[in-house]
Structure 1
Amino acid sequence: MDVPNQYERVAEIGVGAYGTVYKARDVQNGGRFVALKKVRVHTSEDGMPMSTIREVALLRQLESFEHPNIVRLFDVYTTACTDRETRLTLVFEFIDQDLSMFLEKVPPPGLPESRIRDMMQQFLNGLDFLHTHRVVHRDLKPQNILVTSGGQLKLADFGLARIYSFQMALTSVVVTLWYRAPEVLLQASYATPVDLWSVGCIFAEMFRRRPLFSGNSDIDQLNKIFDLLGVPAEDDWPSDVALSHLSFVQRDKQPIETVVPEIGLSGKDLLLKLLTFDPTKRISTAAALQHDFFSENESDGSLAPVPSRPQAKTS
């Protein structure tokens, strides 16, 4: 089935590892703008893989909650089929700015901590919703955190890792390592804590307005992490990886304020809890939302009531 005529393409807005994205007008819904994301999925003798069908079903299920910090998925179409691949078009709400673009526009001296607090709370609320529904994002970075003109943060490109794996195999696009957790870089087993590491990197970037760790290979990325945080204790090193603890030159931990000088005490504490090497000791989304950083009154440093975690509403 082709994409219906209700979507009129306006412009191509991106080509990457995850396919081609078009801005389009939805003529049947008041002319609202949507983003059409086209991806290719490997097709076997039995048709589209069950893993892909499950992923799309999960996305549709999550959409029914209409969470304020999750990008809306309006529809999914199968647009072409061959013996080897199926082409899917996912219709998302259109938001023309991501966090990377937003931070580039911030004038010196940068975002006030109160704004970072608000953005981080929205970020964690969206991620907490995903984790509560057993979805690991796996590729959090500023480019897939969307920011509306009203300052609302929305997570995009979640739950699509298996759908995208075939598409990525067909392209030469380099996926950034800068927000990857150590356990992913070391090719160890991983779960929801990988996303919290990425949150930590992005949290620091909101203050710095540039990436915290910008490595050019897995090893270089790990070394940049260890230059700041020190080489972890041998007891914290994962047992199921090829690289040994001895592969890295020992070095001391540096004060986090040397690279994020604008961060306050409670922000520093949260950042270090997010950038904890051992994923079993890394803070969770639920615990992060209860952290003192979100209950501080910036005018006098006193504590205010912690906002309750928003409940997703069913349609």
Structure 2
Amino acid sequence: MAMAHGTRVQYEPVAEIGGGAYGTVYKARDTESGQFVALKSVRVQTDQNGLPSSTVREVALLRRLEQFDHPNVVRLMDVCATQRSDQETKVTLVFEHVDQDLKTYLERAPAPGLSPGRIKDLMKQLLCGLAFLHSNRVMHRDLKPENILVTSQGQVKLADFGLARIYSCHMALTPVVVTLWYRPPEVLLQSSYATPVDIWSTGCIFAEMFRRKPLFCGESEMDQLGKIFEVVGLPPEEEWPTDVTLSRKNFPPLMARPITDFVPEINEQGAQLLLKMLTFDPLKRISALNALEHLYFHDEETLIETKS
């Protein structure tokens, strides 16, 4: 991790892109290459040796992934650390800059929205990026349309992965409401979780590409769970996690409804895949690798799309 080089400023901020839960993001110009980059800074608590130890580990992990240069993962180009005080270091992550996220991309799509072939292509790329992260033991933990970038050529790039842990100490200071809408039941119930969390979020995003609005818009953890059970039904007692305080009895006994009631434009294979992603029990939820093997990605529609 390079400490900042004296007075020479390599990255000139051009515009504020947005303030996320983790602080402000800037679009900047790299004065050496002339390229645009995205800058994300975070204040990190330091240990006795003046080093932000957990952050160093996280950044090392992101740097290691960088060596693979995966097409569906946003590039981390540089890391700069500036010591602000004995207790605090400012770490700036420099990423490649992509003009739009999936949220904007969906909003800009002319009515009636994206074609089935386009949705399939975006989903395939998203799952490829996710399979890559998961095979390297990286969870995203905060997948939503704002964290999925789409280049002008239609290439999907996952952003802000691995940052959940870097930012966790900083999060406590931020009175920002991180959206619940893409959170899986095990996180809402505060149960233990692993890579399947990202698959649930991906299922929510899959549905949203067809609907052009989020699938589950809860206003609190309880409300979010209620909205989920209205679609997938209340899970059986034996699937309810044992390490949670919230009882299954707090929810009405709802039956699952056909997913096509909520996502009418989806085809049969797509609906099957979506249900495998929106499976309550994380151990029974499909993996990113298995999702890529699903019939949805191998049916005749794909062949027609490529010919036209």
Of 2, 5, 12, 2:4 maps to: 2
Give distance in 2, aligned partners of 1:179 and 1:79: 34
Give distance in 1, aligned partners of 2:28 and 2:302: 44
* SS of 2:208 mapped into structure 1: helix
Structure 2: segments with no counterpart, 5+ residues: none
Question: Partner residue of 1:13?
Answer: 17
Of 68, 72, 75, 2:75 maps to: 72
* Residue 26 of structure 1 pairs with residue 48 of structure 2: no
Of 159, 176, 181, 1:178 maps to: 181
Asked whether the equivalents of residues 40 and 166 of structure 1 are also in contact (C-alpha less than 8 Å), the reply is no
Question: Partner residue of 1:298?
Answer: 301
Question: Partner residue of 2:253?
Answer: 250
TM-score (norm 2): 0.95
Question: Partner residue of 2:234?
Answer: 231
Give distance in 2, aligned partners of 1:70 and 1:300: 26
Question: Partner residue of 1:313?
Answer: none
Asked whether the equivalents of residues 204 and 271 of structure 1 are also in contact (C-alpha less than 8 Å), the reply is yes
Task: State the shift of 1:14 in Å.
Answer: 1.3
Task: State the shift of 1:80 in Å.
Answer: 3.0
Asked whether the equivalents of residues 69 and 154 of structure 1 are also in contact (C-alpha less than 8 Å), the reply is yes
Structure 1: segments with no counterpart, 5+ residues: 305-315
Deviations 1:249-292 (A, max 9, x none): 11111111111000000000000000000000000011000000
Asked whether the equivalents of residues 19 and 40 of structure 1 are also in contact (C-alpha less than 8 Å), the reply is no
Task: State the shift of 1:299 in Å.
Answer: 7.2
Which moves more between the two structures, 234-243 or 43-52? 43-52
Give distance in 2, aligned partners of 1:222 and 1:291: 27
Of 42, 58, 77, 1:39 maps to: 42
Give distance in 2, aligned partners of 1:300 and 1:135: 33
Task: State the shift of 1:300 in Å.
Answer: 7.9
Asked whether the equivalents of residues 17 and 168 of structure 1 are also in contact (C-alpha less than 8 Å), the reply is yes
Structure 1 segment 39-188 matched on structure 2, within 5 A: 39-188=42-191
Asked whether the equivalents of residues 181 and 214 of structure 2 are also in contact (C-alpha less than 8 Å), the reply is yes
Of 215, 240, 243, 2:243 maps to: 240
TM-score (norm 1): 0.92
Deviations 1:193-228 (A, max 9, x none): 010000100000010111000101100000000011
* Residue 206 of structure 1 pairs with residue 184 of structure 2: no
Give distance in 2, aligned partners of 1:299 and 1:24: 39
* SS of 1:138 mapped into structure 2: coil
Give distance in 2, aligned partners of 1:169 and 1:97: 28
Which moves more between the two structures, 155-164 or 261-270? 155-164
Give distance in 1, aligned partners of 2:158 and 2:101: 10
What is the aligned residue count?
301
Asked whether the equivalents of residues 71 and 92 of structure 1 are also in contact (C-alpha less than 8 Å), the reply is yes
* Residue 285 of structure 1 pairs with residue 291 of structure 2: no
Asked whether the equivalents of residues 41 and 48 of structure 1 are also in contact (C-alpha less than 8 Å), the reply is no
Asked whether the equivalents of residues 177 and 215 of structure 1 are also in contact (C-alpha less than 8 Å), the reply is yes
Give distance in 2, aligned partners of 1:287 and 1:245: 30
Identity rate of aligned residues, in percent? 64
* SS of 1:286 mapped into structure 2: helix
* SS of 2:100 mapped into structure 1: coil
